Amino acid sequence: MTQGTNNAEANDGLLENLRLELRRGCLVLAVLAELRNEQYGYTLRKGLAERGLEVDEGTLYPLLRRLESQGLLASEWREEEKRNKRFYKISRDGKLVLKQLLAEWQGIGRSLEGILKESGHGTS
Amino acid sequence: MELLDRYLKAVKFWLPSEQKQDIIAELSEDLHAQIEDKESELGRPLNDAEVEAILKKGGPPMLVAQRYMPKRYLIGPALFPMYWFVLKLGWLFFFGPWLILGVGVNLFAGGHFQGLLEPFLRAVLINFAAVTGVFALIERSHSKAGMLKDWSPRKLPAVRDPNRVRRSSSISELAWYLMLLLWWANVLRIPAIPGVNVELAPMLSRWLFWPTLVLILCQGMIACLNAIRPQWNPRRAAFRGIVDGLSFLVVGYFLLIWAQGGTLVAVTGAKLSSAEIASAEKGITYGWSVLLLIWAAVSYAARVVQDARRAASKPPIRNWALQLLVGE
């Protein structure tokens, strides 16, 4: 294996880690927003994937549990299409947090856009 | 669905018992839904390889289970730097010298390496377990929270002028060289054994008595000057560099004698047989005196480096291990 291939692999690994880090924070926001309408895990995952935010089950379900234990989501087991499914919905506290997070997110977006424009990496 | 059942069973094994059923039910539902979706897309049941691909995408069972558990540390990231520092201190000042000197003494004195290794490994293990245990307790206790919360920039140690000499180290150095001078001049008799006289080996006392005496006096003088005016200047550093360099050569010569199988001391005593005298001379030469000499050689070598930098008006190397080694 050449030095060039090793460097390319290392860069790919680094990029993947940074990408995951970047997505991690956004994911909470996306999940809370999606769960303004009640859904169960699999449909939520499909919905996020259709909007370009693919999440594997090993990431999504622990996150749902964490958000539920923090009081931001509520869940209940129900039978649907002859199968038991756990349905999640955003709670009242969750709605408040979502509102604050959205404001924060928009603020970050504006700041980042300004920074990128100044440094000549503008998105537009 | 045998593969799926095996996968779920393996994940279940690693999950916390109170959540096992709930998590597995949800995960099972998701995986079943994925398989059904794929089957309706292909219009046929999935074969084992296709099910395997879906399960592999989910990740290894232990990793999947671990994601459901809170992050747990024996020693967390906040305490870890301090824990690592304490372990390193142990190696630098205890295990490192023990290993290097122990191996040296054993090899040259014809001892058994195995005899050294066993207590060494035991001590390393005990130290590691004790330090880890103490830090794990701190991690779990509330003292850590207090320790990290009650900090203030005002409580942090002051940045020391690298050319400022600590009075305490100058005074202790002065005391050490005074004691060495008395011992070298045979006023202080250590080791003191009734009826037995321990002196410097004739060859050493003939060639090295006066040069060593002068070097000890010079070292004492520098320590005295540092205690009165505790600030290095290039001239004083250059002078100590020369004295340290010569001290290193003298200590190196002693070590050369030891390495060639000679003795550093001459033992005399009316009631001692020649075999007992030879054994005592070897015992003193190959015992702690050699350890002290090796330590002194390393310390003088390190001091020469710092002296040379100060003499050239450069800042000394700011490495905590090196600074401790030279006693700064």
Please report, rounded to a whole number, the percentage of residues in chain B having pLDDT higher than 90. 43
The dihedrals phi and psi of A77, each to the nearest 5 degrees, come to: -85, 130
Smallest CA–CA distance from A41 into chain B, residue: B30
CB contact under 8 A, B31 and A58: no
Which residue is it, tokens 């232990």?
A: B62
> For chain B, how many residues are written?
328
Whether A107 is in a domain gets the answer yes
| SS3 readout for A61-95 | HHHHHHHHHCCCEEEEEEEECCEEEEEEEECHHHH
The number of distinct structural domains making up chain A is 1
Helices B288-311 and B96-108: crossing angle, nearest 10°?
130
B170: three-class secondary structure by DSSP:
helix
Instruction: Compute the distance between CA of residue A26 and CA of residue A105 in angstroms, rounded to an integer.
Output: 9
Name the minimum distance, in Å, from the CA of A103 to any CA of chain B: 29
Amino acid at B154: R
Question: Which stretches in chain A have pLDDT values below 50?
Answer: none
Q: Where are the alpha helices (DSSP H) in A1-124?
A: 3-34, 41-50, 57-69, 92-118
Contact B68 A65 (CB under 8 A): yes
All structural domains of chain B with their residue ranges: 2-67, 80-155, 167-325
Tell me how far CA of residue B250 lies from CA of B97, B209, B256, B300, B325, in angstroms: 21, 10, 10, 11, 19
Q: Which of residues 156-185 of B touch A (CB under 8 A)?
A: none
Task: Give residue A10's pLDDT.
Answer: 76
Which chain A positions have a beta carbon within 8 Å of B63's beta carbon?
58
Q: Which of B14, B15, B26 to mutate to test the interface with A (most CBs of A within 10 A)?
A: B26
Give contacts of A 61-90 with B, CB under 8 A.
Answer: 61-62, 65, 77, 83-86
pLDDT of residue B258: 80
Q: Is residue A92 part of a domain?
A: yes
Note the pLDDT tens digit of each residue in B171-193: 999 999 999 999 888 787 666 66
Q: Is A16 a domain residue?
A: no
Alpha-carbon separation of residue B125 from B1, B22, B136, B184, B261 (angstroms): 48, 42, 16, 40, 34
Q: How far is CA B78 from CA A27, B74, B81, B148, B174, in A?
A: 27, 12, 7, 8, 41
- Does A41 sit within 8 Å of B26, measured CB to CB? yes
- Mutation to test the B interface, candidates A24, A40, A42, A69, most B Cβ within 10 Å: A42
Short-list B128, B130, B216, CA closest to B173: B216
Nearest-Cα distance to chain B for A65, in Å, is: 8
Q: What is the pLDDT of residue B301?
A: 93
Of B26, B57, B68, the CB nearest to A56: B57
| Residue A1 within any structural domain of the chain | no
Q: Give the CATH number of the domain where residue A113 resides.
A: 1.10.10.10
| Bridge pairing between strands A73-80 and A39-40 | unpaired
Residue A35 within a domain: yes
CA distance B202 to B259: 18
Q: What is the pLDDT of residue B142?
A: 65
State which residues form the domain around A95: 26-118
pLDDT at residue B115, as a whole number:
66
What pLDDT, on the 0 to 100 scale, is given for residue B113? Answer: 61
| Residue of A56, A59, A86 lying closest to B26 (CB–CB) | A86
Omega before B315 cis (within 30°)?
no
Torsion of CA B133, B134, B136, B142, to 10 degrees: 150
Contacts by B189-196, CB closer than 8 A, 24 or more apart: B191/B284, B193/B269, B195/B269, B195/B270, B195/B271, B196/B267, B196/B268, B196/B269, B196/B272, B196/B280
With respect to residue A108, please indicate whether it lies within any of the assigned structural domains: yes
Segments of chain B with pLDDT less than 70: 1, 101, 103-116, 142-147, 189-194, 270, 285-288
DSSP track, B33-65 = HHHHHHHHHHTS---HHHHHHHHHHH--HHHHH
Q: Does B29 touch chain A (CB under 8 A)?
A: yes
Cβ neighbours of residue B105 under 8 Å, at least 6 residues apart? B111, B286, B290, B291
